[in-house]
Structure 1
């Protein structure tokens, strides 16, 4: 009988160890009294991008993923040509429910090997958007995390706060737009303001922009919408760390990372607003996801979710409105807007025909809690179904240089959808331009 009990205890002990090591090999447990422990106020990043010590990799932000058993997901940028073991350092605050014996210290910390998942879309560039996963059953209540290539040197590390600590079922915003990047001293102020005001009328309450650089007029517009409360501007100094590409394909555009880290910012925004917004629109600043059969986004999604209750990703087709073709009437060629730099989207009502033999890229309207990884035109990993929204229900108004530049005006389609908002739109654009100081 005693031998049975002993065997049972040994078996339970072995099972416990296996469970503890399921996600990682624990490298070291940092003693609370160690002189190398993190201080009460860990060093937090001064930028939104932080180098990972002992490597060329970068870490951006950290989130608890409740869909994966509470794993800590650190959104990172990994050089796929220099893969190496990376280690998590997880710490729990002393005021959390952990074994913290020192007042004013961070409490218990653990260092262990991380799991690195490179995203499948990299467009050929050496630096890839990635998830660095940390999981320790010892520290389910971790509040801060750092990534390092040396698990034995944890002093002077920069720690990220772990966001999304709690699952929420009610959200501050119904619709949030994630705009991946502003760069190259972007100064298209008129189109920016017009787009923001259109989105307001469609029911968007929040817009998030990752800003590497912009021009003086757009800077004024950014300040206006931040003060108003609609806009969050996330600094994105990617050019301090890498040589960003200004295009999407490595063979053509070169550089270290695709399009100023567009893939990283889209994923970062998705997790940042996972429990803040019911839906996210993932698109560029010169694109408007426009319902054509519904008055606003809320009514559109009410219908789509009722018809497709298991879908969490809605793909919207892109349609080009060439900025080289103008409405002949001059109805919205307003004299007061001529001094504002940028494109007047209300003047461009001609739409290129869809080409059946050419791939038409989509942008995304998603339930962020249904998505694990996203790319630009499609999700990479999702938990729900994907639905392609019909062209006549919703499509993207994309005012830009033409893709079919040889077509004459009479070969294009007239699409005056934006004019339906004239009564409320024009005064709101004027107010934004005046109060921002652009006019």
Structure 2
């Protein structure tokens, strides 16, 4: 269905008015009681936002319901047009759990419980001959397809990539600007293949400006330090990840869509590529054979304070922070 949104910004809140289309019913509507809520402001679960009301409004053709809501402006993450990150959570440590819960309350992360190990023995790696198990890699194929269908009516695009990968535009300031151009160039495409580029964990840039003092002791590694990119070997199969229009996909695998409506398009790497920072790489190449790629640094002025704010909110900063 169609959705249009009108947004008015106030100092601390965003007042949101959305209009939704409803499919034409196949028969006469069933009679049902007429309910009016006694609450004029309804908190939305696990967020800091509120719904006010919803009204039938057929003044605009194809749009039937007008939803009025309030979004706290200080709880809307400016993350370059990515609306919601869906994480299928089998298990995680207490530090990561606190951080994810904090993001969930902001409305940026949707946590989907995925207790696959209570029902099957999942493989813990992608190679079945090595890891075995009843189901491949924690049920990865199932979660990818479930995410597409979960997003079918609410999202224009879905990014299918791993947690250590960033789909990065190189000629546009954000993903929506990129997709607007690609969609104009390829109007029949519903699947956009993005080439994978590995940024190994070592070597890394030892700049004193990047690891902020208050980040000391935070688990993980700083992706901004990893600016050396491996050359792609196109003589062998090279994987892609995807940006898809969910309505164009019937069934997907990890690197390719299996059944779809419309066309697919391989995006040139100079336009957009994946910044992939794996924990380990099979071969360590000398720095002379790597390319310096500092594209992530273009976002560091916004990224550093936002990450610091998120870490502080989750209680993960050291005493120096």
TM-score bucket (shorter structure)? 0.7 to 0.9
Decide whether the 8 Å contact of 2:123 with 2:136 is kept in 1. Answer: yes
Gaps of 5+ in 1: 1-65, 71-94, 99-167, 171-196
Structure 2 residue aligned with 1:315, among 193, 198, 201?
Answer: 193
1:393 pairs, out of 260, 271, 285, with: 271
Matches within 5 A, 1:103-182: none
- Does the 8 Å CA contact 2:207/2:225 hold for their aligned counterparts? no
* 8 Å contact kept, 1:349–1:414: yes
Residue of structure 1 in register with 2:254 after alignment: 376
**Residue 357 (1) aligns with residue 239 (2):** no
**Residues of 1 paired with 2:204 and 2:214: CA distance?**
18
| Residues 280 and 365, structure 1, Cα contact 8 Å, conserved in 2 | yes
Residues in 2 aligned to 1:200 and 1:376: alpha-carbon distance in whole angstroms: 28
> How far off its partner does 1:203 sit?
1.3
Q: Which has the larger radius of gyration?
A: 1
| CA deviation string 1:341-385 (max 9, x = no partner) | 011101111111111222221001000000000111110100010
Task: Pick one of 310, 325, 328 that aligns with 2:206.
Answer: 328
Deviation at 1:401, TM superposition (A): 3.5
SS in 2 for 1:322: coil
Shift of 1:300: 0.3
Judged with a 3 Å threshold, the aligned counterparts in structure 2 of structure 1 residues 435 and 406 are, in CA distance, closer, same or farther, namely closer
Residues in 1 aligned to 2:163 and 2:140: alpha-carbon distance in whole angstroms: 13
- Contact between 2:210 and 2:225, CA under 8 Å: does it hold in 1? yes
1:35-86 Cα offsets, whole Å, 9 max, x none, are xxxxxxxxxxxxxxxxxxxxxxxxxxxxxxx9xxx9xxxxxxxxxxxxxxxx
Deviation at 1:97, TM superposition (A): 4.3
Superposed, 1:1-400 pairs within 5 Å as 97=30, 200-400=78-278
**Deviation digits for residues 159-200 of structure 1, max 9, x if unmatched?**
xxxxxxxxx999xxxxxxxxxxxxxxxxxxxxxxxxxx9x94
- CA apart distance, 1:247: 1.4
Say if 1:365 and 1:408 are closer, same or farther in 2 by CA, change over 3 A: same
CA–CA separation in structure 2 for the residues paired with 1:268 and 1:382 = 15
Unaligned runs of 5+ in 2: 1-22, 32-61, 65-75
The answer (yes or no) to whether the contact 1:292–1:392 under 8 Å persists in 2 is yes
Q: CA RMSD in A?
A: 2.5
In structure 2, relative to structure 1, the CA distance for the partners of 1:222 and 1:401 (3 Å cut) is closer
Q: Answer yes or no: is the 8 Å Cα contact 1:323–1:402 preserved in 2.
A: yes
Deviations 1:84-139 (A, max 9, x none): xxxxxxxxxxx9749xxxxxxxxxxxxxxxxxxxxxxxxxxxxxxxxxxxxxxxxx
Task: Determine whether 1:416 maps to 2:283.
Answer: no
Separation in structure 1 between the aligned mates of residue 63 and residue 254 of structure 2, nearest angstrom: 27
Please point out which of 405, 409, 415 is paired with 2:283: 405
Moved over 3 A (4+): 95-98, 401-404
Aligned to 1:47: none
Q: For residues 200 and 257 of structure 1, do their structure 2 counterparts lie closer, same or farther at Cα, with a shift above 3 Å needed?
A: farther
